Each structure stands twice: as C-alpha cells, then as structure tokens.
Amino acid sequence: MPEREQSTLVDRVTSKIFEMLLSGEIPLGGPVNEAALAELLSVSRGPVREAVKQLQGRGLVVKEPYLKARAVALTVPDMVEIFQLREAVEGMSVRLATQRMSDAELDDLLAAFSDAKQRGDGVALDVHVRIAEGSGNARVRALLCDELYYLLRLYRARSGKAPGRREDAFAEHWQILRAMKARDAELAESLMRAHIGRATQSLQALLATEAPSLGGTEERKTG
C-alpha cells in the first residue's frame, strides 16, 4: 500500500471499482463479483461490499438480495431519463446561482471559461460543476456532481463521446453565463433547460436510429 491519499480503504476501493467501470474492465451490465474484486484488490470482502453498496447508491450498480450485482446497463433510454432529470435540476441550479453568486465569483467564472475556450479545452462539465457549487444548495450540488456527472462520465467514456455538438455547446454556455451576469435568473434557467433539452433530443434521435442496446453488455464468463 504505497500511498494513503484517501483515509479509508472503502473509499479507495470505491474509486478503483469506478475506474474499472470507466475503463471497461468491468463491462456495462456485467457482473460485479465481490470475492473476485476482493482478491484482485488484495482486501477483504467487507470493504468491497460497502464500496459496491455505495456505488449502488450512486446508481452505478444494481443488485437484488442474493442475486449477482451488475454494473448499470446505461442504455440510451437510461440516458434520456438522466437528461430529463438534469434538465430540471440544472435549471434550478443556474437559477439559484444567478441569484446567489457574487459579482466577483461570476467574473472569475467568466474568465475561466474564456481561457478554457481559447485553449479549446473540454470544460463543459466544469462550467456545470461551478454553477452547481455557486447555487449554494448543497443537495442540488451533490445530486449533480456526485451522482449524475458520474453517470455522464461513464456514458461518455463508453459510447464514443456525446454527439459532437462541441461548438454549439460553447455558444450555449456563453449565453447562459451572460444571462447570469445580467442577473436574469429566468432567462438563465430557460437557456440551461434548452441547452440540456437539445442534448436530450439528440439522444432520442439516436434512440430512433440505433439498435436499442449499447455495445459490450454481454454476460461474459471469466474462465
């Protein structure tokens, strides 16, 4: 055990399993075996059990009593549900942030966004994170940052990025930030909901054209 960044074993195990989900080492929809993970990570089954339970709480793992736990399938319909929820919550997030962030905080956010834009950096999620933090509502922030964004990252890591609306997203973010700067909470909320609503629609379009299930979800024997 070289480093002790996170204080407790469970946290490290949780992070490790999440990385395994991101990387595909555990396939989407595939089984999550406590004993195997315990041996792989050289820990007992207890911490693994708690880590899995925690991931279950975050919606990354589903399980029923005595049945094998499985990684979330993350089908396109799942993502549509997540985006509908995001639309509502992020709308409220930006509304509150518009009312509660100080001018200094807003300027800082604007500046960071401009920099990132010029570097061509992929900061989409970071803008959303900072708005959530600026909302002053810990539950909204936790829901977005600690739950939904994990699922988003997982989906993006697995499905070859979102539909490539990279430049559109920049423009939309810029509009939202301007509305915040103008202290127009209604407008900021509308813009945010439209922003996410568009992503939802492209997901639903995908759903119409593509096969219903997303790659790599087969059950796979390890032996």
- Residues at the contact surface with DNA, assessed by CB under 7 A: 7-10, 31-36, 43-47, 49-50, 63, 65-69
Strands 31-32 and 61-62, sheet pairing: unpaired
Among a second copy, DNA, none, residue 81 binds (CB under 5-8 Å by kind): a second copy
Of 85 and 116, CB closest to a second copy: 85
Of 59 and 136, CB closest to DNA: 59
Of 45 and 166, CB closest to DNA: 45
- Nearest distance from residue 74's CB to DNA, in Å? 19
Q: Which of 136, 56, 126, 59 is nearest to 94 (CA)?
A: 136
- Nearest distance from residue 147's CB to a second copy, in Å? 9
Kindly report the number of other CB atoms within 10 A of residue 47's CB atom: 19
Of 17 and 169, CB closest to DNA: 17
- Nearest distance from residue 158's CB to DNA, in Å? 22
Among DNA, a second copy, none, residue 31 binds (CB under 5-8 Å by kind): DNA
**94 contact partners, CB below 8 Å, separation of at least 6:** 131, 135, 176, 180, 185, 188, 189, 191, 192
Among a second copy, DNA, none, residue 200 binds (CB under 5-8 Å by kind): none
Residue ranges that bind a second copy, judged by CB under 8 A? 7-8, 11, 46, 49-50, 53-54, 57-59, 65-66, 81-82, 84-85, 87-89, 91-92, 96, 137-140, 143
Among DNA, a second copy, none, residue 32 binds (CB under 5-8 Å by kind): DNA
- Nearest distance from residue 23's CB to a second copy, in Å? 24
Of 67 and 211, CB closest to DNA: 67
Among DNA, a second copy, none, residue 87 binds (CB under 5-8 Å by kind): a second copy
Among a second copy, DNA, none, residue 178 binds (CB under 5-8 Å by kind): none
